[in-house]
Structure 1
Amino acid sequence: MEMSFRWYGEDDPVTLEDIRQIPGMTGIVSAVYDIPAGEVWPLERIERLKQTIAQQGLKLNVIESVPVHEEVKMGAASRDKWIDNYKETIRNLSRAGIRTICYNFMPVFDWTRSELEAELPDGSNSLKYDEETVRQLDPLSGELTLPGWDLSYQTEDLRKIMDAYQSMSEEQLMENLIYFLEQVIPVAEEEDVLLAIHPDDPPWPIFGLPRVVTNKENVKYMLRRVDSPNNGVTFCTGSYGANPENDLNGIIEAAKGRIHFVHARNVKWIGSRSFQETSHSIKDGSLDLTAILQKLHDVGFSGPIRPDHGRMIWGETGRPGYGLYDRALGAAYLNGIIDTLEEKTGE
């Protein structure tokens, strides 16, 4: 497995110089963040990002994410224009030597939490999702904004989009995803690029919006409908694992051969549809990352993996979930498990 680290570009308080000092770290997961969703990524911008990373002895191995325009998710009449742009971005990424693209199909909002600095018993803080708190939030009020959310919408535009989704079933949203994949996967095949869809986070409907990448059945359906090795998944332990009903090993088995990227993090279940992120250790969270990595190893996964999110520890401040220290500890923890697995099999 190729240990990797999320980097948010020149404005990220965590520098490439910091990241390269983490033992076993080789890959960088990043993106061109200032291009609006749906617009084509220019080749020169991608090449510049790749070169900046290479100058520190690291490799840009995953793009996370290339956002899908909202009109594609909604199945609007204009969606083909945005899909054509997406195809061109895939081509430009391929020209730059990028082979893995992570994306999601979550309507309107990316990952959602109710608290960004919830205290843990050891005095550190982390991201938390409380279902009751989220139920009482009005996403149109501006009272909650999170990293990764597209905040470019005017309130009235956002209201119209939210209203349109209220009448959309999960089946309709899934068909819009399938339509998108049927258009872009042939280009991915031509360009030798792997598309890896990230699960919905959390893996259930929020704010009355449908969500369709939530469980094993969704994954099996999507992979069967667009049956190509280039159509795959980002296996995120924390997103799927937020729902105790999800069998993570079962999802891995269902998606074997089509898992192109892994996000590894742990969560602690704290109530019905409520959880808090913890250290990666199996002693702190509800997920057995050792068993999960064993299963990934057993099905032959050898692609990029990154420690996902992390606590804020030792007084560090910065982008919630994306500090240096705990993610570095997470990478070391994951590498220890991976080294042990590979030692057993003589790899």
Structure 2
Amino acid sequence: MRQTWRWFGPDDPVTLAHVRQAGAVGIVSALHHLNDGRAWPADEIARRKAEIEAAGLTWDVVESIVVHEDIKTRSGDWRTLIDNYKASIRAVAAVGINTVCYNFMAITDWTRTDLDYPMPHGGTALRFDVVELCAYDVFILEREGAEADHPPARIEAARARLQGMSDSDKARLERNLIGWVPAREFIFDRASFRRALDLYKDVSTEGLRENLFAFLREIVPVAEEAGVRMAIHPDDPPFSLFGLPRIVSKAADARALLDAVASPANGLTLCTGSYGAGAQNDLPAMAKAFAENIHFAHLRNVTKEPDGSFHEAEHLDGDTDMVAVVSALIGEERRRKAAGRADWQVPMRPDHGHAIVDDIGKKVNPGYSCIGRLKGLAELRGVMRAVETLTP
């Protein structure tokens, strides 16, 4: 598997030199400063690619060309925005980038309630607490209809939890949920978040799914022509937040998407953490079932809790059998290589590392510290080498 690393551009505290020292060979990045729905200019793409290559690395995967909310809701200027998206696909293909990871999550990107959850080893992890989400949704945001989306016992637990929270605790929770995510093209406050939710008042789960399929029917032919493989990232977490529909959360969702637009250019990002946070998902089984359609892999692990909460685990611990997942992906690589495919390697990246050692207390993008991901990549590299050696 091709070992890559997510890099957020020149402002990323983790430098390209650090990435090389970690042992990765490829970069996963985007033009984050232009990620607002406009078509990416060729000169900006070339400049970023040259910067990466000057560090001795290659730009292997674009993650992500943002899918604007107007495209998801098919409202506003969605027609122009789809045309811009097609232009960006062609532009990255022109410089040799042939994998594009994207998501179709309504409003939110990956979401956590705690960005510094203390771990027994002394470092911190990302965590999603369903009670804290309920406390914010029902009692702080005061979203219309929120109480109907949470079990009564959870609402009572949230009410009690809120009583023990200081104003700074509440502000932290709001900031974690709606105010900041790496590479988001804008920042919400409470008022703007409520307005964004209003955009989806009349969008059902099936309506959003059909909007995704309509989007794919337009962009997949362009990707085919350009030699690009689109790899959709699953919902994170894989269940509804703030009453918003979720449509890429389980195996049946992935199968429906692949069947809707059957093409080698229409594929999946296998994120073992996002799918893994759903009790319904068997990751080794999914890796085998969807092997030929997996164009990119995010390898991380989570430990689920009885109430549906979860936290980021060590890469080789948690609830997913990472050795089985890696074995399935390496088996697919061998199949592709035997078939004579030039693009037989599956790019992977270690995802959401813990904050440990010198990264504790530093300014880092939560989940994207250097040493935690370096540790994860080293562990995954060991698994890959063992599988490659022991399973001819």
Indicate whether the TM-score tops 0.5.
yes
Match of 2:16 in 1: 16
Q: Distance in 1 between matches of 2:80 and 2:345?
A: 35
User: Which residue of the other structure, out of 378, 385, 389, is the alignment partner of 1:332?
Assistant: 378
The aligned counterpart of 1:341 is 387
1:323 and 2:369 correspond: yes
1:313 aligns with 2:359: no
1:109 and 1:150 in contact (8 A); partners too: no
Letter of the aligned partner of 1:312 in structure 2?
A
Matching residue of 1:295: 328
Question: RMSD over aligned Cα, in angstroms?
Answer: 1.7
Deviations 1:85-129 (A, max 9, x none): 000000100111111011000001100000000001111101000
TM-score (norm 1): 0.94
Say how many residue pairs are matched. Answer: 343
Is the Cα contact below 8 Å between 1:166 and 1:208 reproduced in 2? no
Distance of 2:14 and 2:175 partners within structure 1: 27
Tell me which of 178, 184, 187 is aligned to 2:213: 178
Give 1:249 shift.
2.3
How much does 1:44 deviate? 0.8
The letter for the 2-side match of 1:100 is: T
Unaligned stretches of 5+ in structure 2?
Answer: 142-170, 334-343
Structure 1: tracts of 5 or more residues without a match = none
**Is residue 32–residue 185 contact of structure 2 (8 Å, CA) maintained in 1?**
no
1:343 is displaced (CA, Å) by 1.4
Tell me if 1:304 matches 2:337.
Answer: no
Question: CA, structure 1 residues 22+143, in 2 after alignment: closer, same or farther (shift >3 Å)?
Answer: closer
- Once residues 370 and 225 of structure 2 are traced to their aligned partners in structure 1, the CA distance between those partners, rounded to angstroms, is 37
C-alpha displacement at 1:165, in angstroms? 1.4
Counterpart of 1:307, as a letter, is: P
- Counterpart of 2:369 in 1: which secondary structure? coil
Cα distance, 1:243 vs. partner? Answer: 1.1
Point out the more displaced range, 260-269 or 76-85.
76-85
Whether the 8 Å CA contact 2:284–2:321 is kept in 1: the answer is: no
Offset at residue 345 of structure 1 (A): 4.2
Three-state SS of the structure 2 residue aligned to 1:21 is helix
How does 1:38-57 map onto structure 2 within 5 Å? 38-57=37-56
Higher percent of residues as helix: 2
**Aligned-pair CA distance for 1:78:** 3.0
Q: 1:167 aligns with which of 178, 196, 202?
A: 202
**Which structure is larger by alpha-carbon Rg, 1 or 2?**
2
Measure, in 2, the Cα distance between the counterparts of 1:54 and 1:150.
25
| 1:153/1:243 CA distance change after superposition, 3 Å | closer
| TM-score, normalised by the number of residues in structure 2 | 0.84
Mapped contact 1:216–1:250 kept (Cα < 8 A): no
Structure 1's 328 and 86: CA in aligned 2 closer, same or farther, altered over 3 A? same
Whichever residue aligns with residue 89 of structure 2, its letter is I
The answer on whether the counterparts of 2:231 and 2:295 sit within 8 Å (CA) in structure 1 is: yes
Q: Percent identity?
A: 41
Within 5 Å, give how 1:88-127 maps onto structure 2: 88-127=87-126
**What one-letter code is carried by the residue in structure 2 that aligns with 1:21?**
Q
Kept in 2: contact 1:103–1:196 (CA 8 A): yes
Letter in 1 for 2:103: N
Q: Does the 8 A contact of 2:299 with 2:351 survive in 1? A: yes
Q: CA deviation at 1:77?
A: 5.5
